[in-house]
Amino acid sequence: MNLSLQSAQQLVADLQASLDGAHCKVIIAPPACYLGSLIDACGEHISLAAQNCHDKQEGAYTGEVSAMMLESMGVAYCLVGHSERREYFCEGNAWLAEKINALIAKGIHPIYCFGEQLDERKSNRHFEVVEQQIREGLFHLADADFSNVILAYEPVWAIGTGETATSEQAQEMHAFIRNLVQKQYGQAMADRTTILYGGSCKPSNAEELFAQPDVDGGLIGGAALQASDFIQIIRSNG
């Protein structure tokens, strides 16, 4: 919940002007109320994501946005299960699985976010927590549907705190996640699944994080609000 419409438009224009020659895929996730105003500005280099959607396609759910509505606007991606949605809006894995289904039914790629709290890492339960979030949110999907999902590991203690997971911590968890995917869907699926890291990713640490073999890119929060920082992070990923 950042930036006025005018600032968001300026940010997209600045990004658009700097992305020629960048090889990595860039998806921006503005607030839902700005999606319609930004869609034309995104052009060839940038795709759009919503930050959330409801699990029903339409009906009496005042204030909500559905996958059907996003699809009708041409939005190709949607975050599901960001830690702030889980924490402040009580979105649990079972509900998130329904949102994933709603998006897939409309041909929108879910970007499924998950990650452990600080106390869960301190008590060495981080692998167990992440496994449960992935199993309950995603592993009901058939192969063809799972292949449309992007995974985003975001340790909650690193989001917006300035405290980043070390590249070793990120790689260890990402390898664990890829192994879970391999056991459920096979090696080919594990190899082509995109697993992003999120949590205080910034120009000074992006290159090292993205250099890890199982870290395929980043989910950038605060640092994406400044075009120059975001562009530097994008260029760290090729």
CB of 163 to ligand PGA, least distance (A): 9
172 belongs to the catalytic site? no
150 DSSP β-pair partners = 111
Structure tokens at 8: 């968001």
Sign of CA dihedral 34, 13, 8, 216: positive
Under the binding rule (CB under 6 A), the answer on residue 160 touching ligand PGA is yes
Question: In 74-166, which residue ranges form alpha helices assigned H by DSSP?
Answer: 83-88, 93-105, 118-122, 126-138, 143-146
3-state class of 114 per DSSP?
A: strand
Is 155 a binder of ligand PGA (CB under 6 A)?
no
Catalytic residue among 82, 109, 126, 174: 82
Among 221, 230, 231, 237, which residue interacts with ligand PGA (rule: CB under 6 A)? 221
Q: Residue 199: how many CA atoms within 13 Å on its side-chain side?
A: 28
Nearest of 48, 95, 113 to residue 74 by alpha carbon = 48
Cβ atoms within 10 A of the Cβ of 73, count?
Answer: 14
Nearer to ligand PGA, 215 or 223 (CB): 223
Q: Interface with ligand PGA by CB under 6 A: which range of 11-19, 134-142, 143-151, 213-221? A: 213-221
**Judged by CB, which is closer to ligand PGA: 145, or 207?**
207
Does position 154 interact with ligand PGA (CB under 6 A)? The reply is yes
115 binds ligand PGA (CB under 6 A): no
Binding of residue 12 to ligand PGA (CB under 6 A): no
**Binding flags for ligand PGA, 188-207, as an x/- string (CB under 6 A):** ----------xxxx------
Given the complex with ligand PGA, which of 107 and 160 has the nearer CB atom? Answer: 160
Cβ at position 152, least distance to ligand PGA in Å: 7
Is-catalytic flag, 64?
no
CB–CB of 172/212 below 8 Å?
Answer: no
Among 19, 219, 231, 233, binds ligand PGA (CB under 6 A): 219
For the chain, counts of helices (H) and of strands (E): 12, 7
For the annotated catalytic residues, the residue numbers are 82, 154
